Structures are given as C-alpha cells and as structure tokens.
Structure 1
C-alpha cells in the first residue's frame, strides 16, 4: 500500500500551524480509485460530521498502515506519545454551495471532545489529478475562544437564515479570511499527496470550482482520510 520511496516535507505558516506533506505516498494509487469506483454505490452521507459529501469506511488494516506512517512521520512532533485509536475512509465532496448546511459554511476542527490527556491528528490523501478540485485550507481564529465556540455550536443548531442573520455568514465553501477567521495556509492538491496535521487546527477543504465536483470517484474530489486519537506526551 505505502510507497517506501515517498518524500516528506513540512509546510509551516507559523510554529502553531505545520503540515507534513508526503508526496508519492501510495505505491499503487490508481488501485484506490478503482476500488472506490467499484464500491461507488456504498458511499453515503453521514450525520456524525460536517463533511459536505459522501464517505466509505475502510478496513482496520488500512487504518493501521496509515498509523504506521503517521508514527514515522510526525506523531511525536505533534506532541503525541502513542496512538489510541484510528479510523479511515474514502470521501467525495459532492455538495454545491447552495446545498451546504451552516456548519459547512465555516472551517472546523477534528478534536472529538477529547479529555486533556489526549490529542487528535488527521490526514488527507488526494486521489485526483485535477488541481482545480482544490487542496486544504487552514485558519486561525480572530475572536476569543468562547465566541468561536458559540459560533461553531450555533452552526449546528440554527437554521441557515437564522445563522446568517446572527453572524453575517452566507452559504458557500470557505476559502478566505473573514471577521471570524484568518486564512493562514493553503496546501495545494497533488496526485498521490498525503498530508498530516494537528486535528485541533481549524481547517476545511478548499473548493475553488464547485461546478467540477462529481459523485463519480474517477472524476470527482476523491480523498482517503485518516483520523488519529493519541495519548498526549507528558511535559
């Protein structure tokens, strides 16, 4: 699955926002697109997260291989001692801007309400060749933590009209700075590129051309995503 000759680099907007980039991550990336196409009908949307599309859970064996690479690449540098749990999925962004819910109008974090002794990390592997389908954006909050927490909470509770009226945010994929968040970093997509990052960072998919989104894995914005729950390193 993994390419032993993959190259690793670090993209850094500041000490608090670093992304580890693994290029040529898979030995046979085309097979994953074929696999996704073969199981196209099994992709489904989920109410458990704010992902603006459809997903397909992957076997534990795939997640374990991702975790092995995570451990070799950046787990300790993210302040983690060991991985407690990991899961992975294939995913396709499919929604048009007018179909998005308020929680999909803003960036998000992958923290899963963890206790203080734990931390989270995530990964995205781009399995498409057209760069117009977009990479990943990272943001810094511009407001106090309590205000941002209320914004995030309300994005999952209020109707689109009420959320827009209260916060001045309208439907669409977030790409730029706003009154609430400063755009800090864009990692562009590349075929067979994998990125790792701290799940506590605010981020979202960069969707510059939503008209190109497609539910066909061979043509759409197909990614392989990993999520890691870790024991935080003491000190």
Structure 2
C-alpha cells in the first residue's frame, strides 16, 4: 500500500495565546479511504494493551507505511515544529471505546506525548482524523495552572491512586476532559474533520475532545485516527 500525500494542501497555523502552535492540514491524503480499509481489514488485531492510558484499542501500522509517514514528515512537516535530528518514530491506528464511567485517573485528565523522553530530546505528534462524523471530536489543548513540582505530584498521583482516592484528593471524577478546571486552562481546540491532519509539539498538554455517545463511538469505525510520534534530538 502506498500513501498519496496531497502536496498542494494548505497548512493553516493555529496559534494559542501561550505562544504554542498547531499546524492543520486539510485533505492530507489523496487516498485516506485506503487507510480506513486497512484498519477495517485488521479490525480483529486491534488491542488495548494492559496499563496503557489510551482509552481504546490500537494497532501499529506496518513498517512500510510508518516509513512513508516519517519520510513525509521529515521532508515537508518537521520545519513547522523545529524538529532537528530524527532518532525514531512510530505510528498506530486508535479508536476511543471506553465509557467515561470506566476511565482511570490518568484518562480523566489531559496528557503530554513526551512523557519519559530523556533530556535533550523532544516529540512531535500527528493526529489524522479518519471519520466523517465531526461530533466524534477533535483535539483540545491546555496549559497547566500548577507549578512544575505540583504538576509532577499530580501526575504521580494519577498513576498511583485508585479512582476514588484521586477523585477525593483532586475533585476530578470520571469523564473525558474537554474543558479547563482548577489545574489546567483550556487554550485551544481544533475540531475534527474528515482527512484532516494536525501536527503539534508533543510537550503541549492535550486531550481528545470526546463527548461520549455510545451509539456513535461504538458503531462502525467509530473515532478512528492515525497517530504518529516523531522523536528527535534537539542538539
């Protein structure tokens, strides 16, 4: 399978008041239906790894397709994000399928894609929306209102406390995070659109804009996305 990137697509820059930017490309591929067909053909291979914070099953893309995405990013997109020295990437399909009542503490709050990356390295991220129902939600971005020390403790607690304990300590009950709270300020939102791709710095706090309706998320392809993460060395 060969991906046909639309090299004539226009890049729109969405700039937040914090200075961060998200780069939006509509009509990203000339053949997005081929990606959807691939996901459908391997639907039984989707899996939700135990302990993984993503709220639904995933499937790694074949190496050849991941390489095509990486080649395109390195040639045409990395300059948007100031990515310098590539050291690796991976790409996957993802679907959101977890009922809000069953979300663990980590899944109730926004997150970063560069967690655990060693000093001197960064992560750039891509989300490619592969669904027509825009009500399934795009991506929302946040700014922490805590000090770095407080944020680190918050993250540790989200991973260590049981769900009632986290809710009791922080006042955050089950549910997808689509708006700000006392710990994070919402700074921007990119709506979903069929065949839209967004590129952003993986160090920005973000979350899927999930307004749960089971009949939408659990039928057909649901909220199918292709996600890619590009790790690079900064110096």
Checking the alignment, whether the CA contact within 8 Å between 1:20 and 1:196 is kept in structure 2 is yes
Q: Which runs of 4+ in 1 moved over 3 A?
A: none
Checking the alignment, whether the CA contact within 8 Å between 2:141 and 2:207 is kept in structure 1 is yes
**Match for residue 156 of structure 2?**
153
> Distance between the aligned counterparts of 1:53 and 1:230, measured in 2?
27
Checking the alignment, whether the CA contact within 8 Å between 1:138 and 1:185 is kept in structure 2 is yes
RMSD of aligned alpha carbons: 1.5
Task: Specify which of 36, 42, 46 is matched with residue 45 of structure 2.
Answer: 42
- Structure 1 residue 15: deviation in Å? 5.3
> Distance between the aligned counterparts of 1:215 and 1:46, measured in 2?
21
Checking the alignment, whether the CA contact within 8 Å between 2:100 and 2:212 is kept in structure 1 is no
Q: Which 5+ residue runs of structure 1 have no aligned equivalent?
A: none
**Match for residue 211 of structure 2?**
208
> Do residues 111 (structure 1) and 105 (structure 2) align?
no
Checking the alignment, whether the CA contact within 8 Å between 2:23 and 2:80 is kept in structure 1 is no
- Structure 1 residue 31: deviation in Å? 1.5
Checking the alignment, whether the CA contact within 8 Å between 1:97 and 1:210 is kept in structure 2 is no
Please give the per-residue CA displacement for 1:106-149, whole angstroms capped at 9, x wherever unaligned: 00001142222211111100000011000001000001011111
Q: Which 5+ residue runs of structure 2 have no aligned equivalent?
A: none
TM-score, normalised with respect to structure 1: 0.93
**Match for residue 224 of structure 1?**
226
Checking the alignment, whether the CA contact within 8 Å between 2:83 and 2:232 is kept in structure 1 is yes
Please give the per-residue CA displacement for 1:11-60, whole angstroms capped at 9, x wherever unaligned: 11135321011111112111211111111110000235310000000122
Checking the alignment, whether the CA contact within 8 Å between 1:124 and 1:196 is kept in structure 2 is yes
Please give the per-residue CA displacement for 1:50-77, whole angstroms capped at 9, x wherever unaligned: 1000000012222222223322444234
Most deviating of 79-88 and 129-138: 79-88
> Distance between the aligned counterparts of 2:71 and 2:25, measured in 1?
13
Residue-pair matches, total:
231
Higher strand share: 1
TM-score, normalised with respect to structure 2: 0.93
Distance 1:16 1:116, change over 3 A: farther
**Match for residue 78 of structure 1?**
81
Distance 1:73 1:49, change over 3 A: farther
Distance 1:52 1:172, change over 3 A: same
